[in-house]
Structure 1
Amino acid sequence: MTAGLYGPDSAARAAGTEAAAGAGAGAESAAAGTGTAAGDGGLWFDGRAADQVTPDGTRFTDGHGREVVLRGFNVSGETKLHENRGLPFANTADARASAEALRDLTGGNTVRFLLSWAYAEPEPGRVDEAYLAAVTEQMGAFLDAGLRVYPDFHQDLYSRYLFHEDSWYTGDGAPRWAVEAGGYPREFCGVCVHWGQNITQNEAVMDASRDFWHNRVLETEAGPLGVQDAFLATAEKTMAHLKEHLTEDQFAGIAGFDPYNEPHAGTYEDGEDSRSWERDTLAPFYERFRARMDAAGWQDKPAFLEPNMFWNSNIGFQHEEGGFLDAGRLGPRSVFNTHFYDQRAISGILMPGKARDGQNLGDFEKVRERSAATGVPAVVSEFGHPLNGLTADKAPTVLKAMYQALDSRLPGRDWWRRAAESGPVLSAQQWQWDLYSGRHRELMNGNPDKVLTEGDAWNDEDLSAVERDASGEPVLRQDERLLDRLYPTAVSGRTLAFVYEDRSRDGDRTLTWNRIPDDLPHVAELTGSGRYGLLVWRSDAPDGGAEEAPTELHLPRGFDPERTVVVSDLGTAAGPPPYAADGRTARHPVATAPEAGGTDARRLLLSPPAAGEEGGEPGGRLHFALIAEGTAPAPPELREEARRELAGWAARAGFGG
């Protein structure tokens, strides 16, 4: 370990010096005891109770009992590269700038934060404290910006050290010592047109993966080590370091841990198939990881468990049975964690043309079904589409179709007619958020003659939603209407239906997939040509107490608070007022406020009257709220007519008693 490897601030913290102890990001928030720095707009219901998330059946809830949706990005594919030694960022300042940009430009509230086993344990049995210190500081920057975080020890194709200097491909994950001790054959993939084919065609990758799952004992300079044992020991030390060095307020924002990215057997043993491998090999590994979480002080944090990576592939020859079909109920401290990439769309052959309304509903319905069957919440921790290459022109429609399917199980053409079937809103993190997109300097597999600078600088991928402009400021690479979305971040009750018409664009064509029906003419007039969303929920507070935290939705940047229109059973507003300081005791039915974390992002707050107050009723009341961008005039009489239409529609929609 050297002071210059990950920066002097990291080395100081690793040594436990007084300077490092006082310099940790989030010290102000720890002193304030609110989870947000003083003066950043935090309200009475913000702080640790709002930040912490807990699986509650098939949904996430916060400390106020509100139903929570986790949306955001993966941070970041930079971790796969050597240029910043397995860190997502070159320094903590870049991490802070990235976190603030993610919050401001997209309204994301959660990130999947990539870690590297190779850099955490560069020598067998020894963790690099400087690496862990740098990880902690960079993670702290996201937590201080009001983002929840769940770490992920990332791997692809097992390890970059399996690949030679002239290889067409590379990997990430396991340390060099684990590969050298394994004695694997020279890697070769044959006729592979995509790097993912190495998983099932490259003997070196397949053998190494099999050894990990069977905990092969390797002869190392530290003596015999089971390769899985070594990984688990490093994971425990990493979690213990984070628990010790994050402040209590920061640690409250840790949503859990993703033990292993995209698991696959490598090769199946005689008589074994993908389902039995999940049951007999993958599940015991997760039990071992859970024990390490508990030993590190993460007893209250869930494990984000990924099934066999091919369980939901939408290409027939790649599909394998799985998705924890034989697992039954996963347990109260678990999350069903999966990925989805539309391989048909990426191929360019199996899906000619652009994505359409309802394109991916079936794919994401499988996720909802597995969530219900396993009895735990679901998260789609990776999804996306290439922004460069042969099928890049499909990206605007493919991403819109995916977000549509995350929001609802219905196509836009049917939503108003069948809204009671809309289903739960899924949590998800898009791949990816790489501040250095297009500005890398990565020596592929250490080869000085193969310096990668473009895209993600990894296996020809280019999926980052962000980049830096000429002045160094983070800017979006995709339509802001697509990425900065209205969505329910915390619902005081149960979400019954949600839809958002983002009116994102495919070139110069505006995509409108959700059309308001003719029998709601005032609603259509009020929304005009602008963006709009509708949330229907049922309060489940036993008495509607005055301490009940409000329902929150993220307001996209284009929704000017002075022009935003809200039509709800709670009331109507054109330009909702700011949430007042006395909101703890005086209800503000419709109001706006900055998002917690001190950024420019804003939120809409909806507060039903408490039982005993004028208009107040016991819990269980049906609520609705239409939120429109405000591109059309919305005088009081039009808002009232729209409210009557929506009330009648909600009464007929069949949401139940």
Structure 2
Amino acid sequence: MVYRGAHVKKRTLGISLGLVMVLGVVGAYGVSNSADAAPVKKDGLWFDDLAAEVSVDGTRFVDGHGREVVLRGFNVSGEVKLEENGGLPFASTADARKSAKALREMAGANSVRFLLSWAKANPEPGKVDEKYLAAATAQIKAFLDAGLRVYPDFHQDLYSRYLFNKGSWYQGDGAPKWVVEAGGYPKENCGICVQWGQNITQNKAVTSAHRDFWRNREVTTSAGNFKIQDAFLDTAEETMKYIKGHLPAESFKLVAGFDPLNEPHAGTYDSGETSKSWEKDRLWPFYQNFRARMDAAGWQDKPAFVEPNLFWNSNIFFAKQEGGLQGIGTLGSRYVFNTHFYDHAAMSGIFMPGKASDGRYVDDFRKIRDRSTALNTASIVSEFGHHLSGSVADKAPTVLKGMYQSLDSRMSGADWWKKAAESGPVLSSTQWQWDIYSGRHHELKNDNPDKVLTDHDAWNDEDLSSVALDDSGTPVLRQDARLIDRLYPEAVAGRTLAFTYEDRSRDGSKTLTWNPVPSSMPNVAQLVGEGQYGVLVWRSDSGTEAPTELHLPGGFASASTTVVSDLGTVTGLPAYSSDTPIAAAAETGGTDARRLLLTTPGGSALHYALVTNGAEKPSPDLRAAAQKELAAWVAASGFTG
């Protein structure tokens, strides 16, 4: 949840089957329909099930070739919180396809967190609505068809929309009406709340309902007695069975896992109970039960993306609560540490004067990496973002740039070239949010016909969608394309040792450069010029022949993109073939998105690559001089991975 000016904002996969093309390939995504099929290589591109599936290996996501995978994308979408489309992200499957194509091409995404509604999946006690599940599954498939990995999320905010009365300032979503009616909760009232997230700790209806969920209270309904948490788990299991049973097998391979429940919170604590002990004694057993339901539903090979107490990493001192899934040992390969991060101080309009600057989020994201290491599992930041309108909107360009900077590396821009060996792993993430209906809603707030919400997200005064439709119905970005469509390593054949991307995104008319090339590398600086650039350092793995791939933003046209690497130098990327170590190819899914493929000669070795759209026609001599500088820098930087 996020603190912001007037009301809070609770805002407060994958790998883009990067090695698959559709020419003459068996299966909808260029992968074999047989799980036992041997790898097939055509012109150096990989068309196999190993490239499709993602799993957890230590603190990394990996594909079947052992390549290190980074999931990057968006949440789809806050529309699930609304009633206007019946708890679905889209009014139609056609809109889902339009959104998925735009997400792939305009944002360079390879994954989505796909929201689902407990209330719509389980509208009556003991029953699931297969019509809702069918529509949701069809919309999920639209994203899988575009080559995007998906991990569904049972979303809740403030427990349930049915806790709130027609005159309320706030909205909720999550639990079905029958659960709320059977619970007999007090009339909701947040008291003196200027931010909607305060309901989580101050509204007795919300806190009581959350407490009942975590204690699995038994309630009486016209259909009999039901335990609340068990009813949720039953619904989740049936939902997972339905999704698996109604997706083609090759599509299901692109489903990365499942997020059991959005932003868990205790509601209220027992005497002597703390947020840390609640995570250990209440939240963790719930996740273990959810894990068992995944196994029963046929999801045994996919991880559960489990979230800690939502306040564990708040950057406002009075909101922060101890947590981060401490005290439960290690998670291992069947779970993913799944956390959110919003700059509550920036969104408050009070606690962060001015704008974000280079390195602001280094410590915040270091904590996430450290928890991943301590839990011995992969991590993902499944929500982050900032308001695009209102009193704090002027901070958005710098806040988002800073967050992406710290997702890419542990280091600030000022320190990166000096301390690149400490850069750490690139974090997977899904930004909040991708809602093509932004500003075009028709939501009756709390079912009140006198309060029709049309602006922004139509949800608690939020405005965080990076996309909207123009008057012709075409998706358009609402944020700088340089910020949103990013260079990033989708699949690394080995282990990433360092990565940075200077996106040169803009704050109004000002270009933001937080990671300039140091003056000690004049030829690299001349090659980059005023363009965007990224640097990847990795150690190749002798266990795979599959290439390393990076997503190429739309601003990196093949003809004008320069790569300087130990593998060679080139300006003007050739089409991929088996004898081209540096080349470009289409992303999967039938869109115009593209990727860079770097093929090493085999064996374990240290490699580097600089990718830039800077100098328009750099000479071979300039590229060679830049290569010499980069090689010397790598040798002197102390890379030991």
Give the alignment's TM-score, normalised by structure 2. Answer: 0.94
Match of 1:163 in 2: 164
CA distance change for structure 1 residues 604 and 31 in 2, over 3 Å: closer, same or farther?
closer
Match of 2:147 in 1: 146
Alignment check: 8 A CA contact 1:47 1:249 kept: no
Match of 1:13 in 2: none
1:353, 1:575 → 2: CA distance? 41
Q: Does 1:626 align with 2:622?
A: no
SS at match of 2:607: strand
SS at match of 1:329: coil
Higher normalized contact order (CA 8 Å, seq sep 6+, divided by chain length) = 2
Alignment check: 8 A CA contact 1:34 1:46 kept: yes
Q: CA deviation at 1:596?
A: 1.1
2:266, 2:32 → 1: CA distance? 43
Alignment check: 8 A CA contact 2:28 2:250 kept: no
Instruction: Give the alignment partner of residue 34 of structure 1, picking from 13, 26, 30.
Output: 30
Q: CA RMSD in A?
A: 1.5
CA distance change for structure 1 residues 510 and 33 in 2, over 3 Å: closer, same or farther?
closer
Instruction: Give the alignment partner of residue 592 of structure 1, picking from 564, 581, 584.
Output: 584
Match of 2:8 in 1: none
Instruction: Give the alignment partner of residue 638 of structure 1, picking from 622, 634, 640.
Output: 622
Q: CA deviation at 1:44?
A: 3.3
SS at match of 1:460: coil
Match of 1:200 in 2: 201
Alignment check: 8 A CA contact 2:29 2:589 kept: no
- Could you tell me which amino acid in structure 2 is paired with residue 408 of structure 1? S
* Deviation readout 1:350-398 (Å, 9 max, x if unpaired): 1100100001111101100000000000100000000111100000000
Q: CA deviation at 1:626?
A: 0.1
* Deviation readout 1:193-249 (Å, 9 max, x if unpaired): 111100000000000000000000010122000000100000000000011110111
- Could you tell me which amino acid in structure 2 is paired with residue 234 of structure 1? T
Q: CA deviation at 1:597?
A: 1.1
Match of 2:15 in 1: none
Q: CA deviation at 1:33?
A: 6.8
Q: Does 1:608 align with 2:605?
A: no
CA distance change for structure 1 residues 29 and 185 in 2, over 3 Å: closer, same or farther?
farther
1:282, 1:640 → 2: CA distance? 56
Match of 2:456 in 1: 455
Q: CA deviation at 1:50?
A: 2.0
1:64, 1:377 → 2: CA distance? 17
Q: Which runs of 5+ in 1 are unaligned?
A: 1-25, 611-618
Alignment check: 8 A CA contact 1:500 1:532 kept: yes
Give the alignment's TM-score, normalised by structure 1. Answer: 0.91
Alignment check: 8 A CA contact 1:36 1:596 kept: no
Q: Does 1:578 align with 2:575?
A: yes
- Could you tell me which amino acid in structure 2 is paired with residue 112 of structure 1? R
Q: CA deviation at 1:555?
A: 0.3
Match of 1:369 in 2: 370
Q: Does 1:568 align with 2:561?
A: no
CA distance change for structure 1 residues 438 and 337 in 2, over 3 Å: closer, same or farther?
same
* Deviation readout 1:36-95 (Å, 9 max, x if unpaired): 99xxx9973245322211010000001111000000000000000000000000000000
Q: Does 1:556 align with 2:556?
A: no
Match of 1:614 in 2: none
Q: CA deviation at 1:35?
A: 3.9
- Could you tell me which amino acid in structure 2 is paired with residue 589 of structure 1? P
Match of 1:10 in 2: none
SS at match of 2:542: coil
1:90, 1:51 → 2: CA distance? 29
CA distance change for structure 1 residues 406 and 366 in 2, over 3 Å: closer, same or farther?
same
Match of 2:634 in 1: 650
Match of 2:310 in 1: 309
Q: Does 1:499 align with 2:483?
A: no
SS at match of 2:151: strand
Match runs of 1:48-127 below 5 Å: 48-127=49-128
CA distance change for structure 1 residues 65 and 246 in 2, over 3 Å: closer, same or farther?
same
Q: Which runs of 5+ in 2 are unaligned?
A: 1-21, 34-41
Match of 2:7 in 1: none
Alignment check: 8 A CA contact 2:29 2:145 kept: no
Match of 1:406 in 2: 407
* Deviation readout 1:159-182 (Å, 9 max, x if unpaired): 000000000001000000000000
* Deviation readout 1:401-444 (Å, 9 max, x if unpaired): 00000000111111111110001000000000001000000000
Alignment check: 8 A CA contact 1:36 1:42 kept: no
Match runs of 1:399-478 below 5 Å: 399-478=400-479
- Could you tell me which amino acid in structure 2 is paired with residue 572 of structure 1? T
Match of 2:324 in 1: 323
- Could you tell me which amino acid in structure 2 is paired with residue 458 of structure 1? W
Match runs of 1:114-263 below 5 Å: 114-263=115-264
1:406, 1:482 → 2: CA distance? 13
Give the aligned length.
611
- Could you tell me which amino acid in structure 2 is paired with residue 640 of structure 1? A
2:587, 2:624 → 1: CA distance? 29
CA distance change for structure 1 residues 198 and 156 in 2, over 3 Å: closer, same or farther?
same
Q: CA deviation at 1:510?
A: 0.2
